[in-house]
Structure 1
Amino acid sequence: MSKLKNRYLSLDVFRGMDVALMIIVNSPGNGDTSFGILKHAVWNGFTLTDLVFPTFLFVVGNAMSFSMKKYEAEGSGAFLKKIFKRFSIIFLLGFLMYWFPFFEDGGLKPIAETRIFGVLQRIALCYLFASILLHYFKTKSVLIFSALALIGYHIILLVFGDLTLTGNAVLKLDKFLIGANHMYHGNGGVAFDPEGLLSTLPSIVNVIAGYFTGKFIQKNGQNFETIAKLIMAAGILVIAGFAWDLIFPFNKKLWSSSFVLLTSGIDIFVIAVLVYLLDMSKPGKWTYFFEVFGRNTLFIYLLSELFIISLAELSMKGTNAYNWIADNIFIATAGDYFGSLLFALWIMFTCWLVGYIMDKRGVYIKV
């Protein structure tokens, strides 16, 4: 196995772990009886679940550290065409996912009430801006941008609002640009989008962190010195994150600057461990489970979301299929908390099985 493939093994496994956890936290049988570790922090704070999305952005950047090499020889025209095409497809898929199932009450579901920003849309925007920065600017300039983005974002939030759910600048800008009907309403009915436009600015830094981590590993090789330096960098970022947390608390929904430093530090530490386990040691067969998720990441994520939405839309015995299956099969058998977890695992393993069949048939869907 070549070094390149080994590095992709680390990336596939890391990405696969993240997607598996993402599906689990997105599909609790009963959200009220999910284990605390599988819930987002209500506002300020940090849980394992809060790490899922920034990790996805980190591995996007990590993958870019390989793919950007190909763009350098193709010229600006071909580069811009590729990244704008990919941006458009991912953003549109995210929008269509929120519009799905497209019809309700015998007519077309109103676009005027469809959420515009979201998970895939943020991935698309971060990919676009990070790609442009990394292609056209030198490392020093990109690092300066990253620092200014985090500091500037903190200042913007302080100047144009506060750090509360109803008074922050992220909400104000989204309401001004797209209106409350196009925003997420899962925070007690309050129109606030945790993937809002303004909070996309600091999230770009998670992609950049993943990119530079990948470049560092490629340049310095897979050895104990590299791992030691990565762990030191991770420690510095985590400590800096906790220091910033004192004045700008960890907040996934606002994507606070302290949150960016903390999650980037954790992700660098995890990738360092995976480099040791998968690239410097014999990985064993356990990695294949996560490789399946890592090889068709976008497709499996979309599949999981459409599966959940479809179950929620399908009527069954006075409720919907999602609730009926969760309550009458899993929760009735294993209790509230373990039943909710088993239901989420059922969703995850079902999606994995589809990915497994695709992998065995050599079907890989990329955008």
Structure 2
Amino acid sequence: MDKTLIPAKGSAVAAENIFPAAKLPRLLSLDALRGFDMFWIMSGEHVVHAAAKATNWPVLLWFSGQLHHTEWNGITFYDMIFPLFLFIAGVSMPYSFHHKMEKAGVTDPMDLPGTDKRKIYVAMIRRTLILLFLGWVVNGLFRFDGVENTRFASVLGRIGLAWFFAGLIYMNFNLRAQLYWFSGILVAYWAAMLFIPVPGYGAGILTMQGSLESYVDQLLLPGRLHDPGHDPEGILSTIPAIGSALLGVFTGQFLKLNSEKWPMYKKGIALFVAGLLLIALGMLWDLNFPVNKRLWSSSFVLLVGGWSMVFLSVFYLIIDVAGYRKWAFPFVLIGVNSILIYLAAEGMIDFKQTSNFVFGGLINLACATWQDTLAALGVVCTQLALLYFLYKNKIFLKI
């Protein structure tokens, strides 16, 4: 736990309204977007599902449907939550490395002295190993069911690995070379998935059982897979996930750019337009290589990367450019402790039982139709109360 207060002035934004006596070394919009992203999986989805059931309103029924993963090809809002988090981790990288470069007196990570680079590499490896371990914990490592019943692939593990390799590319290559890496990863993955034959299936079979990604997992991934013969966070599909993190790295470098030609509002608009272009490219590639979260297809990287840029541009323009910050405070509470609340919501804390203890009597007095919705809102309030307590006491889980 890091018990230092997050500063309130960043390289591009002042956030005195929310963080009165602090300095914020990263964009406030980024913390808010991270919190918005995490909100849906920590409890927000249950509020929408319950409200849709209670009201039968078409809009809520549609959104409730969006808060489920697609079976295979296609995409929903829920499918974008994981890659958006990975994109945000990439955006943060140039900001977090900036302070290390300032101390070394350089402006480019490639110019860092060898000693400083080694320290960063050690920190990156440590962070990745911690995320891999926490992913195993979430998967039930301490149930001690044996290696064959333990799932080693995980969401946190993929975030750690993709972030790590994106960081290596950022540390050792200039922007042009980084773009080559990004393009090469997506094209190479597309070529491998379509042209390398799988024993018993052949080449280009993009099914759950017959894809090259599934074959590699069956061959190399120890323990239990998420599905019979397939894991959505498997080995091969982690490679294009590096591309998702790199899109964030490109975005972070652009937003950090200090140039009179690029005032903040222009950056926000440019980011929005770039997002739309990536969405169009992803939809175009979908004709040949379907958008598929489980395979983390190259078209999926472009499409979701585009939506990630659109989301960030909207938050950036509203919060950092226009200065409307107070509404985002609940999301900021989630965003600055996102890993902690993810671990807690995944089973380490029974928020439902705590909420029922506090609000259960009042909820039982309500109309039966709305009790599930109120119970879900009670969980949200309980989680936010914990996060606010941690924030007020300057407790932040840093990995």
Shift of 1:302: 0.6
Which SS does the other structure have where 1:22 is aligned? helix
Q: 2:303 aligns with which of 226, 245, 262?
A: 262
1:183 and 2:225 matched: yes
Shift of 1:273: 1.4
| Rounded Cα–Cα distance in structure 1 between residues aligned with 2:190 and 2:374 | 40
Per the alignment, residue 265 of structure 2 pairs with 224
| TM-aligned CA distance change 1:269 to 1:29, over 3 Å | closer
State which structure, 1 or 2, has the greater radius of gyration over its C-alpha atoms.
Answer: 2
Per the alignment, residue 81 of structure 2 pairs with 52
| TM-aligned CA distance change 1:284 to 1:232, over 3 Å | closer
CA contact (8 A) 1:171 1:193 kept: yes
Per the alignment, residue 395 of structure 2 pairs with 363
1:81 and 2:122 matched: yes
| TM-aligned CA distance change 1:29 to 1:264, over 3 Å | closer
| Rounded Cα–Cα distance in structure 2 between residues aligned with 1:24 and 1:248 | 33
Per the alignment, residue 328 of structure 2 pairs with 287
- The percentage of counterpart residues that share the same residue type is 30
Per-residue deviation, residues 290-337 of structure 1 (Å, max 9, x unmatched): 0100111111111110247x699x9xxxxxx9xxx9xx98xx9337xx
1:238 and 2:279 matched: yes
CA contact (8 A) 1:249 1:258 kept: yes
| Rounded Cα–Cα distance in structure 2 between residues aligned with 1:361 and 1:224 | 34
- Structure 2 unmatched ranges of 5 or more: 1-7, 15-25, 54-60, 105-114, 199-204
With the length of structure 1 as denominator, give the TM-score of the two structures: 0.84
- Structure 1 unmatched ranges of 5 or more: 315-320
Per the alignment, residue 128 of structure 1 pairs with 164
Per the alignment, residue 210 of structure 1 pairs with 248
| Rounded Cα–Cα distance in structure 1 between residues aligned with 2:214 and 2:375 | 33
| Rounded Cα–Cα distance in structure 2 between residues aligned with 1:71 and 1:265 | 29
The one-letter amino acid of 2:132's match is F
| TM-aligned CA distance change 1:222 to 1:93, over 3 Å | farther
Per the alignment, residue 318 of structure 1 pairs with none
Per the alignment, residue 138 of structure 2 pairs with 97
Shift of 1:207: 0.9
| Rounded Cα–Cα distance in structure 2 between residues aligned with 1:143 and 1:342 | 48
1:112 and 2:148 matched: yes
| Rounded Cα–Cα distance in structure 2 between residues aligned with 1:192 and 1:344 | 32
| Bigger Cα displacement from structure 2, 203-212 vs 159-168 | 159-168
Per the alignment, residue 199 of structure 1 pairs with 237
Per the alignment, residue 333 of structure 1 pairs with 368
| Rounded Cα–Cα distance in structure 2 between residues aligned with 1:144 and 1:277 | 32
Per-residue deviation, residues 335-363 of structure 1 (Å, max 9, x unmatched): 7xx94x66555444432221111001111
Shift of 1:218: 1.5
The one-letter amino acid of 2:197's match is F
1:173 and 2:216 matched: yes
| Rounded Cα–Cα distance in structure 1 between residues aligned with 2:221 and 2:78 | 28
| Rounded Cα–Cα distance in structure 2 between residues aligned with 1:256 and 1:333 | 44
The one-letter amino acid of 1:182's match is R
Shift of 1:110: 2.1
The one-letter amino acid of 1:139's match is L
The one-letter amino acid of 1:200's match is T
| Rounded Cα–Cα distance in structure 2 between residues aligned with 1:93 and 1:125 | 13
With the length of structure 2 as denominator, give the TM-score of the two structures: 0.78
Q: CA RMSD in A?
A: 3.0
Shift of 1:15: 0.5
| Rounded Cα–Cα distance in structure 1 between residues aligned with 2:160 and 2:212 | 22
The one-letter amino acid of 1:365's match is L
For residues 292-311 of structure 1, what are the structure 2 equivalents within 5 Å? 292-307=333-348
Which SS does the other structure have where 1:182 is aligned? coil
CA contact (8 A) 2:44 2:380 kept: no
The one-letter amino acid of 2:387's match is G
Per-residue deviation, residues 202-239 of structure 1 (Å, max 9, x unmatched): 11111111111111111145533222221221121111
| Rounded Cα–Cα distance in structure 1 between residues aligned with 2:197 and 2:382 | 45
CA contact (8 A) 2:351 2:379 kept: no
